[in-house]
A and B are shown apart, each in its own frame.
Chain A
Amino acid sequence: MAQQLLEVTDLYTQFFTRDGVVRAVDGVTFEVAAGETLGIVGESGCGKSVTALSLMRLIPQPPGKIVKGKIMFDGADVLKMDDDEVRGIRGNNIAMIFQDPMTSLNPVLTISRQISEALELHLKMDKSEARKRTIELLDLVGIPSAKKRVDDYPHQFSGGMRQRVMIAMALSCNPKLILADEPTTALDVTIQAQILDLLKNLAREFRTAFILITHDLGVVAGMTQRIHVMYGGKIVEKADTAELFANPKMPYTWGLLRSIPRLDERRKAKLVPIEGLPPDLIAPPPGCRFEPRCQYRRDVCREKEPPLEHIPNSKPDHEARCWGTQQGGWLVDTDWHKEVGDMRVIEEIKQEVAQLPPEPKPGDVPPPPAAI
């Protein structure tokens, strides 16, 4: 295989809480080539953000811990580095854009201080050089009259502008890889379009690799080359972008695609929701993680967990974690556009969900008032 920029092998990140061990990332393997854009899609709590934080070694410890795995970045093992070495990579070779531009900038420092800090630290620039570069960067991400605004504080910027500042900061040291964790979720549609457009152009211009983490299938459709779908701490489907949308092979991906209303839908089609709730990662289902919500489940799904394997009738790099669609499975020929699943199974799932949550113990007391 060609030289990969990032190789993650069998990564397990867990959180040790009072209620038990939360298996947030549970054996994730993937790689990113230089200049490539990879999308990681999933619902909240599926482990996509924790994966990104693990790559940067930013998991708060305790309660979190990277239990097992290997993260090779540019030929070096990130997990074996000491703190100083990690600091040399963080922000320098791998940069991160966070979801919430309102809270991820320091409110008491000017924009110029925040961006030039990294420049002075990593690139050993002196003050005036760093300032010049900061202004260039702000220009690059489209902040009008950057020269004047460089000494402003974050509160003087709007949400979209702050996200631009975050991007400028991420770009400051010419990183090889940028992790963008829901970069547009907190923004309005028109601003989202601006930011996505900017990211796309920057990726093209600087040949930076991106990992775009989002729950919005629409965002990844236009931005990425490959997509990994995550569910319950595991990657459940891997494919290149066109293939994933044209020929998805995992019932969870079908469910996601069927349950979102599309702007270009012709008729008022009925949405087909995924019944039930995302899994509890303290006590995940024993077999396939998606089994309790899957309309196509069979007994084998509850008993054994399917491996992430190449799927017949699909492109060579298309893999999915499903007994049904794998060689000899019962879903190999199913057309997900037409099928809505077994109605009896759907009813069963609805019944089960109606029974949740578990019975309160006798003498259950009202919850303590929320801490303020």
Chain B
Amino acid sequence: MAVNTPTKPADPDFVRVRSTATIDSGNNLLDVKALKMHFPLTQGIIFQRQVGAVRAVDGIDFFVEKSETLGLVGESGCGKSTTGRAILQLYKPTAGEVKFDGVELTKLGGEQMRKMRRRMQMIFQDPYASLNPRMTVGNIIGEPIEVHNLARGKEKTERVQELLRVVGLNPYFTNRYPHEFSGGQRQRIGIARALAVEPEFIVCDEPISALDVSIQAQVINLLEELQDRFKLTYLFIAHDLSVVRHISDRVAVMYLGKIVELADRVDLYERPLHPYSQALLSAVPIPDPAIESKRKRIILTGDVPSPVNPPSGCRFHTRCWKAQQICSEVDPEFIEHETRHWAACHFPGA
């Protein structure tokens, strides 16, 4: 690295080299580079002109290794769900690259993309809204099998029953409708549907947020079991830091459309470098009165700014207690500060 150091640090390519969050180690299932997803804001009735854009995701780099779980945390509106959807090409990204197993997804045509979709699936947040109320469970789980021509007739029925068994439901439920099930059971149906096409990669978008406390653990355990059994890779999106810590191998923290920190689970939770991660972690209540009474909270002031018009420089500087002049002027680079521990901050560390 020292030999090749370019002389002009401002060169954008130089930044790319140092943002090794994207370097291909050969074991990556997913590589995301400089991904941007902007939603246009328009004005006018007939002639709509663009007056601005919601910069939901604004240039993020990360990779996901085979059979690991990458947790993506952040507050609502920080762009974590948009990231998940942009990866699966449910939105057409504004800019950037998404490489899945070496194939560039943003350049694929419809038919090719459909073939790729068999290998990547999604589990949605709301188990009430994500199942069609007029389809039987058998049809809901069987449809992806049919679409991808994986099985037909009796074979398909058997496969659906097997999937129901895998997610811990009675295999003879195939003729029932979603309204006959509880929230936790519906989420299991959603998981069975995602598994139906034998995917390698699943984006879990807040899969447990809508469930009751006692049911959440059931679904978390199920997701973990399935990962071991089918060698699945997860992108686990959630706002609950305790849950993300529990299930993830590595964790990325997002703030206002950018990843501010990315590290192995233990490193991030024990030595967070970015002030936002530190504040976020200190804000989570711990169910133990003895610890709660001793903890020092970092209480952030104010709210998250609008992604239409994000603050200049570091986006967090308006709420950061460490902010200096430079923070409002220069956007900090996403740098590997420790081994496999990236952060975007001018003054990282405690």
User: A-side interface residues toward B, CB under 8 Å?
Assistant: 43-44, 144, 158, 160-161, 188-194, 196-197, 215-219, 221-222, 241-242, 245-246, 255-265, 268, 270-275, 277-278, 350, 354-357, 360, 366-367, 369-370
Q: Which B residues are within 8 Å of any A CB, using their own CB?
A: 75-76, 133-134, 136, 168-170, 175-177, 179-182, 184-185, 212-218, 220-221, 239, 241-243, 245-247, 269, 279-293, 295, 297, 299-304
Known A189-B241, A263-B241: A360·B180 in contact at CB below 8 Å: yes
Contact yes or no, A216 B285, CB < 8 A: yes
Cβ contact within 8 Å between B184 and A277: yes
How far does the Cβ of B103 sit from chain A's closest Cβ, in whole Å?
A: 32
Listed by A's residue number, 11 A-B pairs whose Cβ atoms lie within 8 Å are A144-B302, A188-B75, A189-B280, A193-B297, A218-B284, A218-B287, A263-B241, A273-B221, A275-B218, A277-B182, A369-B134
Give the distance in Å from the alpha carbon of A198 to the alpha carbon of B293 in the complex: 16
Partner of B299, one of A144, A197, A255, A367: A197
- Shortest CB distance B121–A (Å): 23
* B283:A190 contact, CB within 8 angstroms: yes
Interface centre among A221, A263, A264, A275 (most CB of B within 10 A): A263
* Residues A357 and B181 in contact, CB atoms below 8 Å apart: yes
Question: Does B168 contact A350, Cβ atoms closer than 8 Å?
Answer: yes
B221 with A241: CB separation less than 8 A: no
Q: A218-B287, A357-B181, A369-B133 are in contact. List 18 more A-B contacts (CB 8 A).
A: A144-B302, A192-B285, A193-B297, A194-B301, A215-B212, A221-B292, A259-B216, A259-B217, A263-B242, A263-B286, A271-B246, A273-B217, A274-B214, A277-B182, A355-B170, A360-B175, A366-B136, A367-B177
Rounded to whole Å, the gap between the CB of A189 and the closest CB of chain B is: 5
Closest B residue by C-beta to A277:
B182
The answer to whether A264 and B133 have CB atoms under 8 Å apart is: no
A278 near B299: Cβ-Cβ < 8 Å: no
User: How distant is A99 from chain B, measured CB to nearest CB, in Å?
Assistant: 15
Tell me, rounded to whole Å, the shortest Cβ–Cβ distance linking B311 to chain A: 16
- Contact assessment for B284 and A189 in the assembled complex, using a CB-CB cutoff below 8 Å: yes
Closest-CB distance, B192 to chain A (whole angstroms): 14
Check if A241 sits within 8 Å of B289, measured CB to CB.
Answer: yes
Are A222 and B180 in touch, CB under 8 angstroms? no
- In the complex, which residue of chain A has the Cβ closest to the Cβ of B178? A367
Contacts of A190 in B (CB 8 A): 75, 279-280, 283, 299-300
* B243 / chain A contacts, CB cutoff of 8 Å: 261
Q: Once the chains bind, are B293 and A259 in contact (CB under 8 Å)?
A: no
Partner of A218, one of B133, B176, B286, B290: B286
Name the CB-closest residue of A to B176. A360
